[in-house]
C-alpha cells in the first residue's frame, strides 16, 4: 500500500506534464452554450496524453521498473494518475452542471440551446469518453510501453464518433429529455449517470488488468 502511494506521488511530482493539470480547466467548457461541451472531455484526456509523451521521452517507464517494485505496479500507478485527473475534472464539471441545473435552468442561452446541455446525461457521456481513453489508449500504450501514436489516433477517432453520437441522440424523437435543463427530479437521468459510473469503473478495471498482462510480456 505504501509503495502504491509512493508511486502515485512519483507520477504526480516527477512524471506528470504541467499540461495534464492545465487541461483540467477544459471542464469549464460545461458553461458554454451553443457549443459541443463534451469536447472538453477529449481535451482533458489529451492533457493526460501529454504526461505519457513526456514520460516516454524521459524514459519514465524504464526508471519505474528499475525501482524495487513489480512491473504491474508501474501500470497501476499510471492508471491511478489517469483516474485522479479524470475524477478532478469530472468533479469540476459536476459542480458546473449542478449550477446550470439549478441557478441557471431558465437562462435563455441554455433553455434554447440546440447543442448538448449540462445535465446528468452530459456527465454520463463524459465518463464514457474517459472509459474509452482508458481502454483504447492506456491498453494500447502498454502493448509496447513506448508507442503511443497509433492508440491515441484510434482514441481520437473513436472519441469524436462518441461525441457526435451523443450530440445526435437528443435530436432523436423520444430522446429529447436527454437535453432537458431541469432534470434534478428525473430518476431516469440519475439512472443513466449511475450506469455510466458502473461502466467507467468496470472498463477502467478491466483495462488495467489487460494492460498489466500486456506489460508483463514487454522486454524493456
Work out the angle between the directed axes of helices 149-169 and 120-132 (0-180°, nearest 10).
160
Please check the confidence at residue 42 and state whether its pLDDT lies above 90.
yes
- 156 SS3 class: helix
Provide the angle, in degrees to the nearest 10, between the axes of the packed helices 71-102 and 120-132: 160
- Above 60 in pLDDT, residue 10? yes
Report the length, in residues, of the chain: 220
Q: Which tens digit of pLDDT belongs to each residue from 120-177? A: 999 999 999 999 999 999 999 998 888 888 999 999 999 999 999 999 999 999 998 8
C-alpha cell at 51: 504526461
- This prediction has a pTM of 0.93
33 falls in which pLDDT band (50, 70, 90)?
confident
> Is the per-residue pLDDT at 92 higher than 90?
yes
From the list 88, 81, 83, the residue with the least C-alpha distance to 23 is 88
| Contact assessment for residue 159 and residue 129, using Cβ atoms and an 8 Å cutoff | yes
The predicted structure's pLDDT at residue 89:
97
Average pLDDT, the chain: 89
Distance CA 188, CA 140 (A): 34
Rounded to whole angstroms, the Cα distance separating 67 from 91 reads 33
The pLDDT value given to residue 79: 94
Give the pLDDT confidence of 174-209 residue by residue, as tens digits: 998 888 888 888 999 999 999 999 999 999 999 999
Distances (CA, A) of 8 to 48, 62, 78, 85: 14, 16, 8, 12
CA-to-CA separations, 190 to 48, 120, 129, in angstroms, rounded: 28, 6, 18
Task: Extract the C-alpha cell encoding 130.
Answer: 474517459
Distance, CA of 11 to CA of 14 (rounded, Å)? 6
Residue with cell 512519483: 10
Amino acid at each position: 500500500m505504501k509503495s502504491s502511494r509512493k508511486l502515485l506521488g512519483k507520477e504526480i511530482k516527477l512524471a506528470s506534464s504541467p499540461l495534464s493539470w492545465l487541461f483540467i480547466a477544459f471542464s469549464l467548457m460545461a458553461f458554454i452554450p451553443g457549443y459541443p461541451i463534451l469536447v472538453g472531455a477529449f481535451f482533458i484526456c489529451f492533457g493526460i496524453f501529454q504526461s505519457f509523451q513526456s514520460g516516454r521521452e524521459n524514459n519514465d517507464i524504464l526508471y519505474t521498473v528499475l525501482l524495487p517494485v513489480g512491473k504491474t505496479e508501474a501500470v497501476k500507478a499510471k492508471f491511478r494518475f489517469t483516474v485522479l485527473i479524470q475524477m478532478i475534472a469530472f468533479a469540476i464539471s459536476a459542480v458546473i452542471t449542478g449550477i446550470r441545473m439549478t441557478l441557471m435552468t431558465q437562462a435563455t442561452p441554455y433553455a434554447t440551446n440546440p447543442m448538448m446541455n449540462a445535465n446528468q446525461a452530459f456527465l454520463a457521456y463524459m465518463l464514457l469518453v474517459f472509459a474509452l481513453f482508458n481502454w483504447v489508449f492506456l491498453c494500447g500504450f502498454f502493448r509496447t510501453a513506448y508507442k503511443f501514436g497509433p492508440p491515441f489516433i484510434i482514441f481520437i477517432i473513436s472519441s469524436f464518433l462518441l461525441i457526435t453520437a451523443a450530440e445526435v441522440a437528443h435530436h432523436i424523437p423520444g430522446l429529447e429529455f436527454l437535453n432537458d435543463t431541469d432534470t434534478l427530479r428525473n430518476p431516469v437521468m440519475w439512472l443513466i449517470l449511475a450506469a455510466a459510473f458502473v461502466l467507467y469503473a468496470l472498463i477502467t478495471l478491466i483495462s488495467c488488468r489487460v494492460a498489466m498482462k500486456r506489460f508483463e510480456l514487454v522486454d524493456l
